A = this chain, B = another copy of it.
């Protein structure tokens, strides 16, 4: 079995062991993903990247795992193939940010 499918199954197994599917509407999963992304970001509050990574690597790992677990649950619930979604977005980005314009420039594509 492929890796992402395998991880998704484990996350869903945990959800079902707790009988939590009833709470997992797509809206609340997207909301929860956003909350966990904020908890990851909180590790950098009032600090530089360097200080934060040196001091809080373990917590970053846990919060990133939470982000990813909600992402997999959301994808499962709504019917999104995670791998395909990433590959299609990369193709779209390649068109939006043509190298000759985007090279070394952080400007948003709408302003290029």
Contact = CB atoms under 8 A, between A and B. Distances in A.
Interface of A: 2-4, 7, 10-11, 14, 17-20, 22-23, 25-28, 30-35, 37-49, 52-53, 57, 60-62, 64-69, 71, 74-75, 78-80, 82-83, 85-90, 92-94, 97, 99, 102-104, 106
A17 B69 contact: no
B25 A49 contact: yes
A85 to B, nearest CB: 4
Given A17-B99, A25-B49, A49-B26, A89 B67 contact: no
Q: How many copies does the complex hold?
A: 4
A53 B7 CA distance: 24
Nearest to A69: B86
